[in-house]
Amino acid sequence: MPLAGISFHPISARIGAEVRGIDLRNPLDAATFERLHAALVEHQVLFFRDQDIEPAHHLALARAFGEPVAHPAYPTVEGFDLINVLEVTPEAPPKIDTWHTDMTFQARPPLGSILRAKVVPDRGGDTMWASLFAAWDGLSARMRSYLEGLRASHSFAHGFRHTLAEPGAMERLRPAIEANPPVLHPVVRTHPVSGRKALFVNRLFTTRIVELPEAESDAVLAFLFEHLETPEFTCRFQWASNSIAFWDNRSTLHRPVNDFWPANRKLERITIAGDAPR
Ligand SMILES: [Fe+2]
């Protein structure tokens, strides 16, 4: 597909764009990569349709942007230990129903993730994304200056506390808990490419703003979580088989909408290594 064929079509005013005119089975040339990279930073989440790709194409796209990383808790595609399988069945209901940024329990949370739909339900099962730039820009100047310089604790054990309550889960996940003690991140991070500021806390993993007394931290975080989830900061994507979503994990939250269960859904995800927020 020639470079001139690529085009980007925003799906809301603040976040999300559909990419047309690209076939991800073809190698990504330098110019195409540059356009995709710039579009990812600008639109924060890119959507692709009708991409009948192999796992190797999925990996090649991820590797153009960085090093794929394994997840401590999810199963993988056979023969591809860097591609996680996120599968919902009648016996295995969806576990996460909370807005979050992926893996902020790590000192270097991912740059982004590339999620590909293999099996989609007939109805429902959309995913939503929210812009951390729009959330930051949407705060008052007073609140922005109050938050500058604060740090928050992010916890794997907190994020997976419901899973950990299941029989046998504590034994299975103990190594992951021990390998991922809570970490601190700035409440306001600066995007390493665009320089834009992002409100970097999330309801799933963020537990405490460490410079504040506990009650004040709880109240401020409750306000920020609700603010981040303002519908006008979000976009919503309806999956079809061979749809792909590629989000910038440095500037977004996302959440599944679990209105399809007990129908089946199977997604495959590659997560790309990121840098320490600052
Ligand atoms: Fe996620």
Tell me the per-residue pLDDT of 137-160, one tens digit each, with 9 for 90 and over. Answer: 999 999 999 999 999 999 999 999
The whole-number average pLDDT for the span 6-15 is 98
**89 located within any domain:** yes
**35 located within any domain:** yes
pTM over 0.85: yes
The whole-number average pLDDT for the span 3-7 is 77
Residue 138 gets which letter from DSSP?
A: T
* Predicted confidence (pLDDT) at residue 108 exceeds the cutoff of 60: yes
Spatial separation of the C-alpha atoms in residues 106 and 5, rounded to whole Å: 38
Band (pLDDT 50/70/90 cuts) for residue 2 is very low
The tally of domains found in the chain comes to 1
If you measure from the C-alpha of residue 11 to the centroid of ligand 1, how many angstroms do you get, rounded to a whole number? 20
**Catalytic annotation on 154?**
no
Domain enclosing residue 238, as ranges: 3-272
Band (pLDDT 50/70/90 cuts) for residue 72 is confident
What is the model's pLDDT at position 73?
77
If you measure from the C-alpha of residue 3 to the centroid of ligand 1, how many angstroms do you get, rounded to a whole number? 31
If you measure from the C-alpha of residue 100 to the centroid of ligand 1, how many angstroms do you get, rounded to a whole number? 6
The whole-number average pLDDT for the span 9-32 is 97
What is the model's pLDDT at position 230?
98
Upper half-sphere CA count for residue 187 (Cβ side, 13 Å): 24
Average pLDDT value over all residues in the chain: 96
User: Which residue bears the tokens 């820009």?
Assistant: 137
End-to-end, the C-alpha distance of the chain in Å comes to: 38
Which of 102, 189, 191, 248 does the annotation list as catalytic?
A: 102
**Catalytic annotation on 35?**
no
Element (H, E) at 233: none
The whole-number average pLDDT for the span 24-47 is 97
If you measure from the C-alpha of residue 217 to the centroid of ligand 1, how many angstroms do you get, rounded to a whole number? 24
**131 located within any domain:** yes
Band (pLDDT 50/70/90 cuts) for residue 57 is very high
What is the model's pLDDT at position 1?
44
Pairing of strands 45-48, 17-20: parallel
**278 located within any domain:** no
Of 47, 175, 65, the closest CA to residue 110 belongs to 65
* Predicted confidence (pLDDT) at residue 207 exceeds the cutoff of 50: yes
**Catalytic annotation on 102?**
yes
The residues placing their C-beta within 5 Å of ligand 1, an ion, are 102
Spatial separation of the C-alpha atoms in residues 180 and 225, rounded to whole Å: 23
User: Which residue bears the tokens 């040339």?
Assistant: 29
The whole-number average pLDDT for the span 237-257 is 98
CATH number of the domain encompassing residue 38: 3.60.130.10
Answer whether 276's CB lies under 8 Å from 108's CB: yes
Least confident of 36-45, 74-83, 196-205, 228-237: 74-83
What is the model's pLDDT at position 4?
60
**193 located within any domain:** yes
The whole-number average pLDDT for the span 43-52 is 98
If you measure from the C-alpha of residue 195 to the centroid of ligand 1, how many angstroms do you get, rounded to a whole number? 24
Query: Which stretches of the chain are DSSP H helices?
Result: 30-43, 55-65, 132-137, 141-147, 156-159, 161-164, 169-179, 214-228
Band (pLDDT 50/70/90 cuts) for residue 133 is very high
**Catalytic annotation on 52?**
no
What is the model's pLDDT at position 70?
85
**277 located within any domain:** no
**132 located within any domain:** yes
